[in-house]
Amino acid sequence: MATKKIIAICQSGGEFQTENDGSLSYRGGDAHAIDIDDQMKFSDFKMEVAEMFNCSFGAMSIKYFLPGNRKTLITVSNDKDLERMIKFHGDSITADVYIVMEENGADDVSNMSDSRSSRTTLSEAVPPLELPLDVVDDTTQPNIPLGAPLDIDGPNHIDAHFNLPPEVLSVRPLSVVPYEKHAKAAEQWQDTITGVGQRFSTVHEFRETLRKYAIAHQFAFKYKKNDSHRVTVKCKAEGCPWRIHASRLSATQLSICIKTMNPTHTCGGSAVTVGHQSWVASIIKEKLKIFPDYKPKDIVNDIKQEYGIQLNYCQAWRGKEIAKEQLQGSYKDAYGQLPFLCDKIMETNPGSLATFTTKEDSSFQRLFIAFHASLSGFVQGCRPLLFLDSIPLKSKYQGILLTATAADGNDSVFPVAFAFVDAETNDNWHWFLSQLKSALSTSCPLTFVADRQKGLRESISEIFKDSYHGYCLHYLTEQLIRDLKGQFSRDVKGIMIEDLYRAAFAPRPEEFHKITEGIKSLSLEAYNWIMQSEPQNWANSLFQGARYNHMKSNFGELFYSWASDADELPITQMVDVIRGEIMELIYFRRTDSDQWLTRLTPSMEEKLEKESLKVSALQVQLTTGSEFEVQGESTEVVDMDGWDCSCKGWQLTGLPCCHAIAVINCIGRSPYDYCSRYFSTESYRLTYAESVKPIPDMDWAMQNDYSEAVMTVTPPTRRPPGRPTTKKVGLQEAMKRQLQCSKCKGLGHNKATCKELL
């Protein structure tokens, strides 16, 4: 594939101004040009921009406009974003890129009560967390071990119950390697503490500076006094006179000043256990912003190499969690912003539906979102066919993503609605379908492709009356293998799965029964299972709805990739990531379809062409009325008035089969006149006619105390320790090799344990 290249016109130092039509213009500043292509890494691009404008790598963000839309700025924050920007400007030689300098986070608010148990939340820019691991606090504060969850009560509660795997709960203090191996990165901190009279803007800044100073000089310390307005520290080594005391300059000021200091050490720095997870977080935060998959084991190696400090896995993991929350915001606060989020979605995207529910204890239960652009696109241009599926999330809190997707005229996935729920239950699926019903303004009977379990069978028939429910063939096959587990060899299971698929796709009842009789010859139990699994809900020859040959519900895999990119973010940011993906998907496909000159979408044109190539071998027998006989390898009857062929290909796909096209040619009509309207380019453009609008920044809600005027929402149950369930993408269980004896050919043992040889 050819590499796409464009020239990025990078502009910085100016300002955006809003014009009368709502569009944005950029005025002033400097501009430089950089050659980029779709192979370039985001980190390399950002570094080149930072060097060009002589600005801080971590304090800038990169933004651009979509072509033809100067009302919405898109942020570039990773390799995928950069590649997408290049793709959007593929027809242009240049792309305007804007460098926006971010302001530093607000300083730590140190005007707290004297007790150290009153602390700020992790979402603040510089959170004063627990005391250093190596620090012995002689005040009256309790000694909380690192392995225990931090659950500190107070007006500024820390939400820090990290889900640690059992193997990392055994914790050691941070240790420093011998000085001769000490990295140069720590040497820059040797003069961070200069002596009496030195001032710091907050008590938190003083503590952080003191930690760095101790690391550089290879000694450990302990607090004698440690509160919001004074800090007294002495060397941890017994008998060492080193000591420092800092306090506020006055009762009305937040700044801290060193009042006394004895800089002499007699201990030789032998007590070398210094460090703190908040310090680790401050060190790795910028790198984590660029590399979100920064692993704890890599953090351990980097900290040792650059600063000479030996962490264990748990300490690196906790530091990463703190840094993530500082970068992304508080998971807990995000749930409190849901009322604001729902209101703003419906305000900025009229016709959308965004609603949530909580449990009796005000904890989050479920959130449903359907944008107007998705609802309108489905009703106006998509087949009345919906796919329902679920995706487990790896979020800090337990959750499942429920999705409803459709197939557009080009047979690509079209997102309709989604919901975050605390668990996949019958009740949550029923609620999701109820909200979907209220959001869709259509009286047309719908066909659903979904699992038959988890209450879906009952909920679909109850909420969407006169609808059709096609059982997902993927889930059906998995259930068959589970129910017959251990009774058959791998080869026999493979044959059963293959025959089940053939039976499902068979267009006529006689073919279905012929295939199932073959299964009966293999296993009467498997045959009985299949006949009792309601084949009228999954076999093409018996199904009454219109599935257009779509047999599986995992048509929503697009949501799976989106969720994989965002499921570790707070819930409001997850919603915004999905919203942004839908917005770009609609824009890209609408722009792409503007270039089409065919009556049908490209994929449907290709399918129609393939059927047309088969016509030359067919012979049409002209008759009176609307029915025609077509002879070829088989003889089929075509009913032109009913858009029906005895081969059932026309009815199953919505496109004329080769027999129908042969008749259409004979009567002098165009095959396009007999194609489903959903496959036309016009319907496709109607599907993507509306746009998803941006939503205001969630920080607005907190700044304006919006959350105080509405109901409180607290986080749901935390995700249990261990790896979360992953979505199965194939019949792995069915394909596992079963142990077979090479002597007696029996199952479940090998020749070494074969009883036939005893």
Q: Rounded CA gap, 349 and 531, in Å? A: 47
Q: Rounded CA gap, 421 and 339, in Å? A: 16
Burial letters 547-556, b for 16+ CB under 10 A, else e: bbebbbbbbb
Q: Is the pLDDT of residue 258 over 50?
A: yes
Q: Rounded CA gap, 113 and 155, in Å? A: 10
Q: Is the pLDDT of residue 754 over 70?
A: no
**Interval 562-596: pLDDT, tens:** 877 777 788 888 899 899 999 999 999 999 999 99
Mean pLDDT for the chain overall: 78
Q: Rounded CA gap, 405 and 472, in Å? A: 14
Q: What is the mean pLDDT of residues 730-744?
A: 47
CA atoms within 13 A of residue 295's CA, in its CB half-sphere: 3
Q: Which of 91-95, 120-124, 318-322 has the lowest mean pLDDT?
A: 120-124
Higher confidence at residue 728 or residue 754? 754
Label residue 164 by pLDDT band (50, 70, 90): very low
Residue with tokens 């070494």: 752
User: Which residues, in sequence order, are CB contacts of 535 under 8 Å at separation 6+?
Assistant: 503, 512, 542
**Interval 346-380: pLDDT, tens:** 999 999 999 999 998 888 999 999 999 999 999 99
Instruction: Give, in words, the CATH class of 331-472+553-583.
Output: alpha beta
Higher confidence at residue 317 or residue 685? 685
Q: What is the CATH number of domain 5-101?
A: 3.10.20.90
Q: Rounded CA gap, 83 and 41, in Å? A: 9
Please say whether the beta carbons of 445 and 466 come within 8 A.
yes
Higher confidence at residue 745 or residue 315? 315
Q: Is the pLDDT of residue 503 over 60?
A: yes
Per-range mean pLDDT, top range of 40-54, 116-130, 650-664: 650-664
Q: Distances in Å between the alpha carbon of 543 and those of 443, 477, 496, 547?
A: 21, 18, 21, 9
Q: Is the pLDDT of residue 74 over 70?
A: yes
Mapped to the 3 state alphabet, what secondary structure does 75-125 carry? EECCHHHHHHHHHHCCCCCEEEEEEEECCCCCCCCCCCCCCCCCCCCCCCC
Q: Is the pLDDT of residue 299 over 90?
A: no
pLDDT at residue 116 in the model: 32
Which of 208, 274, 219 lies closest to 243, judged by CA?
219
Q: What is the mean pLDDT of residues 51-65?
A: 79
pLDDT at residue 752 in the model: 63
Which tokens sit at 621? Answer: 């027998």
Q: Rounded CA gap, 160 and 121, in Å? A: 9
Q: What is the mean pLDDT of residues 100-112?
A: 45
> Coil, helix or strand for 61?
strand
Q: What is the mean pLDDT of residues 488-495?
A: 80
Residue 669: how many other CB atoms lie within 10 Å: 13
User: Which residues, in sequence order, are CB contacts of 524 under 8 Å at separation 6+?
Assistant: none
Please say whether the beta carbons of 612 and 671 come within 8 A.
yes
Q: Rounded CA gap, 329 and 576, in Å? A: 14
- Element holding 381 (H helix, E strand): helix 372-381
Residue with tokens 């062409």: 609
Higher confidence at residue 120 or residue 520? 520
| Gap between the terminal Cα atoms of the chain | 63
pLDDT at residue 31 in the model: 81
Q: Rounded CA gap, 439 and 368, in Å? A: 10
Which of 555, 532, 403, 422 lies closest to 480, judged by CA?
532
639 beta partners: 627, 644
397 secondary structure, DSSP code: B
Percentage of the chain modeled with pLDDT above 90: 34
| Pairing of β 94-101 and β 5-12 | parallel
Q: Rounded CA gap, 541 and 438, in Å? A: 32
Q: Rounded CA gap, 145 and 133, in Å? A: 8
Please say whether the beta carbons of 222 and 137 come within 8 A.
yes
pLDDT at residue 651 in the model: 92
Q: Is the pLDDT of residue 624 over 90?
A: no
As to burial, measured by CB atoms within 10 angstroms (0-12 exposed, 13-18 middle, 19+ buried), residue 230 is middle
Q: Rounded CA gap, 229 and 111, in Å? A: 8
**Interval 460-472: pLDDT, tens:** 999 998 899 999 9
pLDDT at residue 296 in the model: 85
Q: Distances in Å between the alpha carbon of 256 and those of 99, 120, 350?
A: 35, 18, 51
Q: Is the pLDDT of residue 427 over 90?
A: yes
The full length of the chain comes to: 758
Q: Rounded CA gap, 584 and 86, in Å? A: 13
pLDDT at residue 114 in the model: 34
**Interval 676-714: pLDDT, tens:** 999 999 999 999 999 999 887 655 544 444 444 456 888
Please say whether the beta carbons of 594 and 353 come within 8 A.
no
- Element holding 10 (H helix, E strand): strand 5-12
DSSP class per residue in 294-346: --HHHHHHHHHHHH-EE--HHHHHHHHHHHHHHHH--HHHHHHTHHHHHHHHH
As to burial, measured by CB atoms within 10 angstroms (0-12 exposed, 13-18 middle, 19+ buried), residue 491 is exposed
Q: What is the mean pLDDT of residues 60-70?
A: 84
User: Which residues, in sequence order, are CB contacts of 210 under 8 Å at separation 6+?
Assistant: 193, 221, 231, 233, 244
DSSP class per residue in 352-370: -EEEEEE-TTSBEEEEEEE
Which of 15, 33, 35, 13 lies closest to 24, judged by CA?
15
351: left (phi over 0), alpha (psi -120 to 50) or beta: left
Q: Is the pLDDT of residue 210 over 90?
A: no
Please say whether the beta carbons of 200 and 256 come within 8 A.
yes
Label residue 263 by pLDDT band (50, 70, 90): confident
Higher confidence at residue 442 or residue 611? 611
pLDDT at residue 146 in the model: 29
User: Which residues, in sequence order, are CB contacts of 758 under 8 Å at separation 6+?
Assistant: none
pLDDT at residue 737 in the model: 41
Q: Rounded CA gap, 345 and 694, in Å? A: 8
**Which stretches of 225-312 are DSSP H helices?**
277-290, 296-307
